[in-house]
Amino acid sequence: MTFKEEIDRRRTFGIISHPDAGKTTLTEKLLLFGGAIHVAGAVKSNKIKKTATSDFMEIEKQRGISVATSVMGFDYNGYKVNILDTPGHQDFAEDTYRTLTAVDSVIIVIDSAKGVETQTRKLMEVCRMRHTPVIVFINKLDRPGRDPFDLLDEIEAELNIRVRPLAWPVGNRTEFKGVYNIYEENLYLFTPAKQVLEDGVEIKDIAGGELEKHIGQRAATTLREELELIHGVYSDFDKAEYSAGKLAPVFFGSALNNFGVRELLHAFLKIAPSPRASQTDIREVSPCEEKFSGFVFKIHANMDPNHRNRIAFVKICSGTFMRNTNYLHVKQGKQMKFSSPTAFMAEKKSIIDEAFPGDIVGIPDSGNFKIGDTLTEGEQMVFKGLPSFSPEQFRYIENADPMKSKQLAKGIDQLMDEGVAQLFVSQYNNRKIIGTVGALQFEVIQYRLLHEYGASCRYEPINLYKACWIKSDNAKELNDFKKRKNQYMAKDKYGRDVFLADSSYMLQMAQENFKNIRFHFTSEF
């Protein structure tokens, strides 16, 4: 297979949603249809029947939620599919935002009863900023839900994107009979709790009498009327508009019942983009370039708790990544060789010899990498769009077991490298402060420190409003600011100056009184 063919057959996408819309269940079923797994785990009302494949961390199994992005790859019908299942909970949104920099398209899962929810809106904003192509999957059709036309109107209004149904439900609520695939002109009949699906019934002429044989007179009449309305109201599907992030195709189904998932997968493989160009600080990088380049978008400590290992997740942007080949770590300015790069199936890893643009490669890491680092064959450039966000919740972190201070220090150091929270050391009293985007992060950090590092910690309250990175070309004014605000100054993990404002008024006054100081609310500056 040629290099160009390898790129064209790749589909790297993220699955995003508000919590409990069925995102992780959909991921499971895509893997099931792709032949990557043979039994799917079901996550029902936070009680785990079988643990979901993509939720492999112990705390995920206990809580029934995803708290870290999982990477899974498999081959299907000649395509290489890379799925990134992201956390839905808003407290882990930062991990999701960064993951969206590593995907070429996105599937948004929406609960048919709840419609568009808060987290979905926020994630769509990130997709819009990056012009990421979006497919919408309206889930849980086997349960009482809202009118499909009302849902489409809400998606257009709330997510600010035009929609085009490529599938349509036949009946709903208790009379749900199946889905008509507009894209392929097939009818798929729904049988509750059926785990194996037959091929759809091909119906090229929906005006003919064949439809009645399968779904009855009343449902057939309603379907014809609704399809006529769809063709009248919504413009035809335009692949170029979809690729530009301006049009969202919509599919319907029930992930829990395996229904509508295969049709979504088949249509997705046909219309979704292969790897796209990436932006660096100096130029745009095309995936078809011969020379390798890639960036670290995620770091995960303790993929295997028995070995205390860290994995840096690298998105390949151009060229071919080869095992045991020297590559330049741009930030450190040194050559590195990787003897055991891995491909993923959630926590299962297999060593690979090569990888192509669109692939996600895991590199064992002893502390050389941080999020946003770039690897190249020698070119000095840095990929853009991987910031850490200014935290909004803060607590002092203290050692609860003096005998385990080494384990605690190592645990904090490694977990902060994952980018899910940030560590600040107060310049006033030298105490360590954890800053997060959401409160649930504190619980996850405490749990993982105890269960993965054997270190127990306790938190103490601290009243802070916002952390921001400060920089200035005026050294005198910067030193003056740091002296005056000594009580509120800290250093982050990389030794950069951070101002910890205890109120919005204090931050506003600092910005007004020190005009030559730049206050940054993301770490990418």
pLDDT at 274 over 80: yes
Tokens of 190: 């729904």
pLDDT tens for each residue of 313-326 = 899 999 999 999 99
Q: What is the pLDDT of residue 36?
A: 60
Provide CATH 3.40.50.300 ranges for the chain. Answer: 9-74+86-271, 278-376
Q: Rounded CA gap, 293 and 283, in Å?
A: 13
Task: Answer yes or no: is pLDDT of 241 > 80.
Answer: yes
- CB-CB neighbours of 128 under 10 Å: 15
Tell me what pLDDT residue 240 has: 95
pLDDT band at 485 (very low <50, low <70, confident <90, very high): very high
What are the DSSP calls for 127-182, one per residue? HHHTT--EEEEEE-TTS----HHHHHHHHHHHHT-EEEESEEEES-GGG--EEEET
Yes or no: say if 102 and 85 are a contact pair by the CB < 8 Å rule: no
Work out the average pLDDT over 25-42: 67
Residue 230 has pLDDT above 90, yes or no: yes
As annotated, the residues of the chain forming the CATH 3.30.70.3280 domain(s) are: 393-520
Is the pLDDT at 40 greater than 90? The verdict is no
Residue 399, C-beta contacts closer than 8 angstroms, at least 6 positions apart: 405, 408, 455, 456, 457
Lowest average pLDDT, out of 195-209, 339-353, 443-457, goes to 195-209
- At the fourth CATH level, which superfamily is domain 393-520? Peptide chain release factor 3, domain III (3.30.70.3280)
Across the chain, mean pLDDT equals: 84
pLDDT at position 386 over 80: no
Over residues 433-479, the pLDDT tens digits come to 999 877 778 988 898 899 888 999 999 999 999 999 999 999 999 99
The fold of 278-376 is Rossmann fold (3.40.50)
Most confident of 256-265, 333-342, 443-452: 333-342
- Angle made by CA atoms 317, 389, 244, in degrees to the nearest 5: 45
Q: Are 407 and 318 in contact (CB under 8 A)?
A: no
| 47 pLDDT more than 50 | no
The whole-number pLDDT of residue 42 equals 34
The DSSP string of 271-305 is: HS-----EEBSS-EE-TT-SS-EEEEEEEEE-SST
Contact criterion met (CB below 8 Å) for 99 and 106: no
Residue 215: what pLDDT?
A: 84
Of the CATH numbers 3.40.50.300, 3.30.2000.10, 3.90.226.10, 3.20.20.70, which one belongs to the domain with range 9-74+86-271? 3.40.50.300
